[in-house]
């Protein structure tokens, strides 16, 4: 099992560009999450999903959109990137209790 995978691993964007981060899990988990990690801030929840076709806002949702069209995939979109969105993005999945994390995507917005 690959667990939780994220694509891409690195990306550089210019202000105003858009992009989509892909998260995939092969553990048949119902719950999936997107976090951002910034120095000294820990992990902050952006959006999450409790099942296929559902999404909900987390702690810092502004500037991001998500979709969960298939149970195994959770997409995070940036419609118009801003320098404040420079961060490391982590995806996680869970069946109950423990969350399992992907390796992260390092995004830089110039």
Q: Can you give the binding site for another protein, defined by CB under 8 A?
A: 4, 31, 33, 40-45, 48, 50, 56, 58, 90, 92, 94, 96-104
Between 14 and 98, CB nearer to another protein:
98
Between 14 and 28, CB nearer to another protein:
28
Between 38 and 79, CB nearer to another protein:
38
Between 57 and 80, CB nearer to another protein:
57
Distances (CA, A) of 17 to 11, 14, 41, 61: 12, 6, 25, 18
Nearest-angstrom CA–CA distance, 92 and 32: 6
CB of 15 to another protein, least distance (A): 26
Report residue 85: phi and psi, to 5°. -95, 5
CB of 80 to another protein, least distance (A): 27
Residue 99 C-alpha from the chain's centroid:
13
State yes or no: cis peptide before 33, omega within 30 of 0.
no
CB of 101 to another protein, least distance (A): 4
């Amino acid at each position: 099992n690959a667990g939780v995978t994220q694509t891409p691993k690195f990306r550089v964007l210019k202000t105003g560009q858009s992009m989509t981060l892909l998260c995939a899990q092969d553990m048949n988990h119902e719950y999936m999450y997107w976090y951002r990690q910034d120095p000294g801030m820990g992990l902050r929840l952006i959006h999450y999903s409790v099942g296929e076709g559902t999404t909900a806002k987390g702690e810092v949702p502004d500037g991001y959109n998500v979709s969960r069209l298939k149970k195994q995939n959770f997409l995070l979109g940036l419609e118009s990137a801003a320098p404040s969105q420079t961060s490391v993005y982590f995806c996680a999945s869970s069946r109950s209790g423990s969350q399992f994390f992907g390796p992260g995507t390092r995004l830089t917005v110039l």
